Chains A and B, each alone.
Chain A
Amino acid sequence: MNTSSSSLTKKAFERLFSNKLSLFGGIYILLLITLAIITPLIAPYDYAYQDLSLGPVGPTTDHLLGTDTLGRDLLTRMLYGSRISLMVGFLATMVALVIGVLWGAIAGFLGGRVDAIMMRIVDILYGIPFIILIILLMVIFGRNLVLLFMAIGAVEWLTMSRIVRSQVMSLSQQEFVLAAEAMGVSKKDIISRHLIPNAIGPVIVYATLTVPQIMLLEAFLSFLGLGVQAPMSSWGLLIRDGAVSMEEYWWLLVFPSLAFSLTLFSLNFIGDGLRDALDPRTGPN
């Protein structure tokens, strides 16, 4: 990398960190991820543990966030739920990222007929309403978690590929790429070592904004009863349980909702911050 791009990077980071909201978002997300990873160590109860005779109680010292109708500790369920929700979000984004980046880079670099066909396929797949696709998949193949995030990822890659493609297409004309081609570097190496790393900026922004979209999708599905099933928990499931009992047991709705909304907030702020940091034109906020 030449010097001009590293000072650009430095400037980008500076802008990012000065954005207070992004910073707050970043800290919250890091905290959340840490908690999610160490959940089995810190969770006060086993995630399936029920205390039937206790039933639903509000926040107490034994149960910091209260319990649900089967006497399960809400904090524990929220911690385990965050693991699932985050995992679905990040892994699905990962799947979308890998497929989208490869597809877009290849199409953008090779151009011509290959590009036309590849993007035609993207256009066609784009037209299929994905919520319908997801519901169909869940109906047909059952509520398998792995399948869930693969299905979601397999749908989200389309926009990713478009972004990468346009980035790659403009990069391909640049001198360092033409030079590499002249030197006989293989196409595969050009794509993987030159194009992709330089196109990565907007992709990261989009990926950061995709994660909350996916978490939202999972929550919707679980809320409708088509997603994660008990005794596992995810935030969508917890919100649904909370919505049912919100009148008597308000904590069952309030705490998961707060956690979920804060997570969405944070991810969106980070994404916004990244976008502003990398693109000086749009200005703060």
Chain B
Amino acid sequence: MISLILRRLATAIPVLLAVITLTFFMVHSAPGGPFDEEKAVSPEVLIKLNERYNLNEPLMVQYFDYLGNVLQGDFGPSFRYPSRSVTELISIGLPITFELALYAILFALMLGIIAGVVSSLRPNTAYDYIPMTVAMAGICIPSIILGPSLTLIFGIWLNWLPVTGWGDIPGDKILPTITLGTAYAAYCARLTRGGMLEILNQDFIRTARAKGLSEFRVVVVHALRGGLTPVIAFLGPAMAGLLAGSFVVETIFGIPGLGRFYVEAAFNRDYTMILGTSIFFSCLIIAFNLLSDLVAASLNPRLRDQ
């Protein structure tokens, strides 16, 4: 296990460095200076602002300065909100996005695993076709369609659920969670089905059944452990998708999370924010990939040598 962790970390560090370098140079080659407002800025002022944001140095010097700062956790001040640092903005938005992602993944796992298990127990029957087709629908109706549609049906026409806010009105977390989590529920269902089918065909299951154990025990106690491996392995890459999904869902529902900050930063050319958040997201994804690899390996010892 330790060697697995070490090997993963060894890959992670060059990745992080590549991300920082790539994003730094990309962002700095962008057109559109960061200081243009409705009233044009005078040259003396421009000099002062450039100084504050360290834009007067040659690019390579800026890069190494930035690298040094990042290693100490300092991403610099935001351009869009001059009196706030990027780190502060991240710490404001992150808990909200994290909560949204958490609810979405729990929803996805709950719904998906149950659906996948049910369909794997009776393959090629209605118990199989129906959940799998619904799952396919979940994948093919993306959040950009699902979000507005759910809002229209449950929020406006039926007026059952609130359609804006996060934590202001009871129930306002339901629609965003469902919108974000549905596609992942679908993937979880399909993966669970596949994983369970593979396990259920194996000898030790037949043995357990022959021994007279109840179906419940066979499935939950013996099969599930191995059958869930694909889902667990999926969780890592799912994080990347959830993060991307949060951009859209937070925009649709007006949730003040990190995803929304990021999209806003992209529109406003808030360079430091774009840089800082990109690097931060990469760290998160790397960490989650590592975590899911570890959990999968602990559940299924055969994976430990990879």
Contact = CB atoms under 8 A, between A and B. Distances in A.
Interface in B80-134: 123-124, 128-129, 132
Nearest to B275: A136
Interface in A254-285: 257, 260-261, 264-265, 268-269, 282-285
B145 A239 contact: yes
Contacts, number: 127
Interface residues of A, number: 45
8 contacts: A127-B282, A136-B27, A139-B266, A220-B142, A253-B152, A260-B142, A264-B139, A285-B128
Specify the main secondary structure of chain A where it touches its partner: helix
Specify the main secondary structure of chain B where it touches its partner: helix
A139 B289 CA distance: 27
Given A127-B282, A131-B243, A223-B248, A285 B274 contact: no
Contacts of A282: 194, 197
A157 to B, nearest CB: 16
B140 A253 contact: no
Contact of A132 (B18, B194, B251, B281): B281
B299 interface: no
Given A140-B30, A216-B142, A261-B145, A246 B15 contact: no
Contact of A226 (B11, B26, B266, B269): B266
Q: In this complex, which of A223, A264, A283 has the most chain B Cβ atoms within 10 angstroms of its Cβ?
A: A223
A281 to B, nearest CB: 9
B29 to A, nearest CB: 6
A224 B156 CA distance: 23
A150 interface: no
Interface string A41-75: 00000000000000000000000000000000000
Contacts of A240: 144
Given A127-B12, A257-B145, A264-B139, 15 more contacts: A127-B11, A128-B19, A131-B243, A132-B278, A132-B282, A135-B263, A137-B26, A139-B30, A224-B248, A224-B263, A225-B267, A240-B144, A243-B148, A260-B142, A265-B136
B239 to A, nearest CB: 9
B286 A127 contact: yes
B14 interface: yes
B221 to A, nearest CB: 25
A133 B266 CA distance: 12
B243 A129 contact: yes
Interface in A179-221: 212, 216, 219-220
The 3 A-B pairs at the shortest CB distance, nearest first, are namely A127-B15, A243-B148, A264-B140
Contacts of B286: 127
A16 B148 CA distance: 36
